[in-house]
Amino acid sequence: MTNNESLIRDEIWGLDTPVRLDSGEMVPAINLDSAATAPPFKKVMAAIDDQMKLYGSIGRGKGQKSAITTEFYMDAREAIMDFVNANHEKYTVFYTANTTDGINKLASALINTKNDMVLTTRMEHHANDLPWRARARTVYAEVDAHGRLKINDIERLLRQYRGQIKYVTITAASNVTGYINEVHHIARVAHLYGAKIIVDGAQIAAHREFTMMGCTPEEDIDFFVFSAHKMYAPYGGGAVVGLRDELNKHIPAFYGGGMVEAVFDRRVCYAPAPDSYEAGSPNFPGLVSMVHAAKILKEYGFDEIAQHEQRLLKRAITGLSQIPGVQLYGDNDYTDDRVGIVVFNMCGIASEDMADYLAGKHGIAVRHGAFCAHPYVRRLTSEAEQSGCAPPKGMVRASFGIYNTEADVDAFIAAVSELGNESLPVAMMEGRGRANGRKDDSHKPFDRG
């Protein structure tokens, strides 16, 4: 472990907390599942503790604590816009529970009728597919054999439905393969055909510097949605950075206190954005954690984060590719356009059994299943769509965070290799895993990983 890796690990809460293996032995866990949820920074935990000592009602009280809390709540919008390099006059920020909540609020606000058209892709997480599917006419750009987005397909569909498509909504980075999409180029194409662009930033915010502003105004992003829990910030929370004027033309299907100027017997005067998107009491601890995590990530430097991830990703791909029976997915020769995610299967072993083995015998946390991206996973694994409601068989995913080390990757490779060199334990083959009929829970709607 390098000195820099050691310093970074010292900044993460709970890394050395032991977990119990199936054998009963207690060992420090190796977390290779940051794409789902990342452990918190210690400085973030300390900031929450300090801020909560002065916690009061937001925007409703006149006490000193209320004033301090309200000031932090309002100033945080500026900090979040700075985090994504957003023009403060052009954009505003409203807070959400997570990315899923943010996209649902946008969809409920921006879509006027079922005839509105939205262009999305077969790469998307369900959270950036189903909210649009439920409210609008959706068309989908395809992916190639490696799982990369066919950008030309976006332009083809925009040209085919010239002027009818109102929004192009796309992930900045895939939660399955880690591919990073050229969203500013896509923004320029979308704007050329009169559409606005919405970017799901859940998997990019902790891994690469993101900017709302393109090289030209035509390349500017219109809406950006992200979650705090993938940025080493606990207690939930997220944000939407969006065009102030556009948000003021709409209102989400989410009502309550704090979003109005006045309510009368037969009419309501709604407040402008962002207040109109923030009904109810805010999640203040989540907001504090998000703001401080964003600051810490910028201090570390996204160039260094990207280089660190690339080293781990290439090491993992090299190691896995040398294990008999392992099938890697995606383009594993050129990885510069990927965040630190690798997906694979082992011949004859269900993805759930692999994940159980890694956790139960080695304390290594990975993710298995279809990652709430069923159409994309079927394309990657060439699994035919079946009748009924069975999800895809899926894959195993290892994802790397700022705190992971080469030793973590080596332990992971050794564990996968060990499994490949021995038969599965009898207990695992009898009554555990999808191979024996247990329903896979990777598609649960609350799972945003």
Which residues are known catalytic residues? 372
Residue 145 makes CB contacts below 8 A (sequence gap 6+) with none
Burial class from Cβ neighbours inside 10 Å (0-12, 13-18, 19+) for residue 33 reads buried
- 345/254 Cα distance (integer angstroms): 41
Instruction: Measure the CA dihedral 367/372/378/383, to 10°.
Output: 70
- List residues bridging with 369 in a β-sheet: 395
- 146/216 Cα distance (integer angstroms): 30
Contact 96, 283 (CB under 8 A): no
